[in-house]
Amino acid sequence: METKRLHKYATLELERRLEERTAQLAEANERLRREKEERRQAEEELRLQRALAENRLQDSENRYGTLFDDAVLGIFQTTHDARILNVNPAFARMFGFDSPQELMRLVENPVNDLWVDPSTRDEILRMVLKATEPVHVENRFKRRDGSLFTCNIHAWAVRDKQGKLLHIEGWLEDITERKRSEKEKKIIEKHLFLAQKMEAVGTLAGGIANDLNNILQPVVGYTEMALNELPESNPLRYDLEHVLKACRRAEELLGQILAVSRSTVEYQRTRIDFGSIVKEALQSLRSSLPDSIEIRENIETGIAMADPTQIRQVLINLCTNAVQALNGKGILEVTFSNVTMAKTDLANRSLFPLQPGPYLKLCVSDTGCGIDKEDLERIFDPYFTTREVGKGSGLGLAVVNAIVKRHDGAITVKSMPGKGSRFCVYIPGISAENKLDGHVDREPGFFNASDTPGYLPTKCAGPKRAGGVIWKR
């Protein structure tokens, strides 16, 4: 009986422990299931995050690639010794190549092939390696065809976490057109300033010249009348003739002052044979020069719409200036030719604002003392002269410049101290189709250099004196 009771108790205890163990196993299994599910969910979330990160990375790479390939700036990566690692299409196009691959294949020595001055690359590299911020400098480069262009360089050094240099990267901005525009703007501003200054000086000078001319005319008139009254043997005639000669020189000077003033000078453009004007002026000039000055000339025929008196004044002033530079000995050369100016010929800032087309080119050269570089910028300013006091008014070249501008022309000058000077005047010519079969007709309004007035005006105090003068003449 006792045995049965113990057996039953042992069985119950075993069943209880079995149930406890079964419950523990069931709880462990549930815990493992939950852990497995959590792990699966974590792995799934990690997979989704990785996929999202990969997509974002791919999008970023695509955006960077698009930005890299489509950028208008020339992006580059190079080693410290200038070996090219990577460039974008814009960089290749800047240097005249069709693609980055072509550039990297054909450019064996980037420093010598792309840089105008290889030494500047070393200077910029030192600046980049020392700087903690991007370096910004301006430099000139060579294209594949040998032409030059100017760029802004923005470059910086790329390093790893330990500070070791990996490569140099940055970008180039082509500013060639901007530099050209800035240069043209400065030229236009300079011409505008000069025009405003000339207008102000001309207005002031014109008013003063008119007032002085009004004062001078009675002196000339009364001197001429006094000379008419005096017999040839009177010793006072010598003094009065010198007074009259000084008055004439003063009139010429006042005429030059008036010529500088745009608003006070009237001129009439007519169709003229430019070549005959030049020949006639040289003929009259030749007789006044010493034999020690050799005159060389090469004169063509050219037709233009111009004021013949003012054109003659241009040549006389330029030749007078050259003769003074020769100081009594040397060569004076005058050439006149027809030229056609193309757009490329007008790059010289002195030819602003000429337009392409036919021009008459008058050049006066001398082998004289030349002009200093500092003075070249001022030689056309009114009253500027390098001559000694009393030997130059400073108006000769100013008058030339004013007349040329009025005729829509331009003037250039080349000179070196001790090497002489060369002035070239460009006046718009008449195109071939507008010329009359290569010859000049004697039509109304056409001026020929041989034309001279057929009368000589004079002044008298009254009818009786005027009649006596006419009787003598």
Please write the tens of the pLDDT for every residue from 197-231.
Answer: 666 766 776 677 777 878 888 888 889 888 888 88
End residue of a domain, out of 70, 95, 110: 70
* 50 belongs to a structural domain: yes
Q: 170 and 189 share a domain?
A: no
Provide the number of structural domains found in the chain.
Answer: 4
Which residues make Cβ contacts (< 8 Å) with residue 396, sequence separation at least 6? 256, 317, 320, 321
* 473 belongs to a structural domain: no
* 443 belongs to a structural domain: no
Q: 405 and 385 share a domain?
A: yes
Contact call for residues 366 and 320 (beta carbons, < 8 A): no
Residue type at position 26 = A
Q: 296 and 398 share a domain?
A: yes
Q: 61 and 78 share a domain?
A: no
Q: 148 and 220 share a domain?
A: no
* 375 belongs to a structural domain: yes
Domain that holds residue 110: 71-174
Q: 402 and 290 share a domain?
A: yes
* 63 belongs to a structural domain: yes
Residue 320: which CATH number? 3.30.565.10
Report the alpha-carbon distance of residue 189 to residue 179 in Å, rounded: 15
pLDDT the model gives residue 59: 67
| Residue 337, beta-bridge partner list | 361
Residue type at position 364 = V
Q: What is the largest CA-CA distance in the chain?
A: 194
Residue type at position 338 = N
Q: 315 and 367 share a domain?
A: yes
Q: Which of 427, 410, 358, 395 is nearest to 187 (CA)?
A: 410
Report the alpha-carbon distance of residue 406 to residue 398 in Å, rounded: 12
* 452 belongs to a structural domain: no
List the pLDDT tens digit at each of the 473 positions of the chain: 677 777 777 788 788 888 888 888 888 888 888 888 888 888 888 888 887 777 777 666 656 556 778 888 999 999 988 899 999 999 999 999 999 999 989 998 999 999 999 899 999 999 999 988 999 999 999 999 999 999 999 999 999 888 899 999 999 999 999 888 888 888 777 767 766 666 676 677 667 777 787 888 888 888 988 888 888 889 888 889 889 888 887 887 777 666 665 444 456 778 888 888 888 888 878 877 888 889 999 999 888 888 888 888 899 889 988 988 888 889 999 999 999 988 877 776 667 678 888 999 999 999 998 888 888 878 887 766 766 544 555 677 888 888 888 888 999 999 988 889 999 999 998 865 555 444 444 333 333 333 333 334 445 555 545 555 554 44
Report the alpha-carbon distance of residue 223 to residue 98 in Å, rounded: 83
* 466 belongs to a structural domain: no
Residue 207: which CATH number? 1.10.287
pTM: 0.46
Q: 14 and 91 share a domain?
A: no
Please write the tens of the pLDDT for every residue from 344-377.
Answer: 777 766 676 788 889 999 999 999 988 888 888 7
Measured between alpha carbons, how far is residue 461 from residues 168, 218, 468 in Å?
Answer: 93, 11, 11
Q: Which of 285, 280, 277 is nearest to 303 (CA)?
A: 277
End residue of a domain, out of 70, 87, 119: 70
Q: 420 and 275 share a domain?
A: yes
Measure CA of the first residue to CA of the last residue in the chain; give whole Å: 189
Measured between alpha carbons, how far is residue 413 from residues 196, 294, 343, 398, 422 in Å?
Answer: 22, 21, 20, 13, 6
Q: 129 and 146 share a domain?
A: yes
Please write the tens of the pLDDT for every residue from 247-287.
Answer: 887 887 777 666 665 444 456 778 888 888 888 888 878 87
Q: 383 and 279 share a domain?
A: yes
Q: Which of 116, 124, 120 is nearest to 157 (CA)?
A: 124
Which residues make Cβ contacts (< 8 Å) with residue 246, sequence separation at least 6? none
Q: 314 and 424 share a domain?
A: yes
* 450 belongs to a structural domain: no
End residue of a domain, out of 403, 418, 434: 434
